[in-house]
Amino acid sequence: MTRELALLADAFGYGLPDFCGFAINARKSALIPFDERLAIIGNVIKSWYADQLKARRQRLRCTGCLGSG
């Protein structure tokens, strides 16, 4: 999947927030009980993407790409 996501990012300019939205939409359509879908969205998908975005911001801050705020 990583290669496919990289190709989408290159072709259409998608980023982590876009892929998070795609993952959430896909999980909403999964054939599992509603409560399980919500748990996976909240506990797995959203938390993983939040961690990735936080790590990316920290890397950018370390390289001087972001301001001090």
Which three-class secondary structure state does DSSP give residue 16? helix
What is the tens place of the pLDDT at every residue in 16-65?
Answer: 899 999 999 999 999 999 999 999 999 999 999 999 989 988 888 776 66
Kindly indicate the confidence band of residue 8, based on its pLDDT and cuts at 50, 70 and 90: very high
- Spatial separation of the C-alpha atoms in residues 27 and 10, rounded to whole Å: 24
CB atoms within 10 A of CB 41: 19
